[in-house]
Amino acid sequence: MTTRSCLSIVLAAGLGTRMKSNLPKVMHEVGGLPLVGHVIKALSAAGSERISVVTGPDMPALEQLVFKMAPMARCYVQTERLGTAHAVLAAKPALEFEADDVLVLFGDTPLVSAGTVSRVRKALENGADLAVLGFETRRPHGYGRLLIENGRLKAIREEKDASDEERRITYCNSGIMGFSGKHALGLLEAIGNDNAKGEYYLTDAVEIANRNGLKVVAVKGTEIETQGINTRAQLASCEADFQALQRRGALENGCTLLAPSTVYFSHDTDLSVDVTVEQNVVFGPGVQVAKGARIRAFSHLEGAQVGEGSVVGPYARLRPGTVLGTDTKVGNFVEVKNATFGAGAKANHLSYIGDASVGSKSNIGAGTITCNYDGYLKHRTEIGAGSFVGSNSTLVAPVKLGNASFVAAGSVITEDVLKDSMAFGRARQTVKEGKAKQLRARLQSAKDAKS
């Protein structure tokens, strides 16, 4: 992308009535990120240094999300819903500071890619005054048709106004547009509302631009990336398309997915080369997996970093704050939260490790838990390098185990253990010969009396 300046206006004032939700429509999620968040990510990646989002009244959560993702963004409120052009002009203060490129997108089209946004900008750089993003579809009914003549976009014909011949056109309008900055405000302010609904339609800019002798072109995108979301069914369909794109991307980037259709990705999942992902794995937000690692079946990861050559699962859960070093192993039915594992550390099965650090080459036995919460505060457990924690041990935080320490199986550890020391924290075993036989007889007698 060139150094041309770019202002993007994202229309996000929709209430989402058809979603049957109290949440603004663009706050619903695909891939763990609100719809409008995907659009902001694409714009940022395409070099739009100025982003304005048009919201509806009383949408503080939406405004907070916008500022979190793009701190320099501006929000403008559309107090009346009088059409798409009216919505764009809600951001008129931003338009008055001229940019080379002005883009208009919708907050409910989450799959539009940075590459496609860049191609719209490229058309403007190459001399277009107005560029409309279109797509080919086998189901054009309901969409505005793009009428192309000698390589130029002459009109957008709505379904209800189209002739039979025009209705056979399969090149349709996505609604996404790019304006040359020097003409953007003039074209938008020239749009009137002389129509049955008395609304200001952004598509009228095409006719006005052609009438004024400006260059209007169409840029081709795909039907998948230009789909908008209005219903829960469309949201589900979009999620399926998003997952298919993520799976394809992972495979193309050198990962092995043993059953691709059963793996679910977040918007920011980062898998390095030679990562293997087995069946039925879910990646929540904020996961990074280094090269050569293996994520085994039925595991769930969120907010976690997995080191090179490590193995996670099957049936493991990594929660936010988990950092696994190289060649670590977190096995079946192990849950890790806000904890670090040094290189070569292992927790092979049936353990909970929370708010802890596990030193390199340490081994955590089955059934071990770190008791990190006292009902009010969280406390940390520190396990030194080369330590061995026996099965069914309870480590009551805050507590520290020194390097190369040894905790006997079945222990409850409440005090620090020094380096190279062995700790026992269990009652002495007592064996009473014949007592089991007596106990069974007594219990059977009590049962017989009760019946």
Three-class DSSP category at 240: helix
Q: Cα(59)–Cα(13) distance, rounded to whole angstroms? A: 9
Give backbone dihedrals phi and psi of 118, rounded to 5 degrees, phi first: -65, -35
Q: Cα(133)–Cα(284) distance, rounded to whole angstroms? A: 32
Closest listed residue to residue 137, CA positions, set 146, 125, 129, 128: 146
Contact assessment for residue 100 and residue 4, using Cβ atoms and an 8 Å cutoff: yes
Q: Write down the residue that tokens 């979009």 correspond to.
A: 238
Closest listed residue to residue 395, CA positions, set 369, 373, 375: 369
CA 242 to chain centre: 10
Q: Any idea how long the chain is?
A: 451
Q: Cα(203)–Cα(186) distance, rounded to whole angstroms? A: 14
Q: Cα(241)–Cα(31) distance, rounded to whole angstroms? A: 10
Contact assessment for residue 359 and residue 375, using Cβ atoms and an 8 Å cutoff: no
Three-class DSSP category at 81: coil
R_g of the chain computed on alpha carbons: 30
Asked if 349 is an active-site residue, the reply is yes
Q: Write down the residue that tokens 């086998």 correspond to.
A: 138
> Quick one: CA torsion of 103, 240, 144, 133, rounded to 10 degrees?
30
Token couple for 110: 């989450």
Output the CA angle 133-8-30, nearest 5 degrees: 75
- Per the residue annotation, which of 28, 267, 300, 349 is the catalytic one? 349
Q: Cα(344)–Cα(363) distance, rounded to whole angstroms? A: 9
In the chain, the N- to C-terminal Cα span, in Å, equals 85
**Residues annotated catalytic, as ranges:** 349
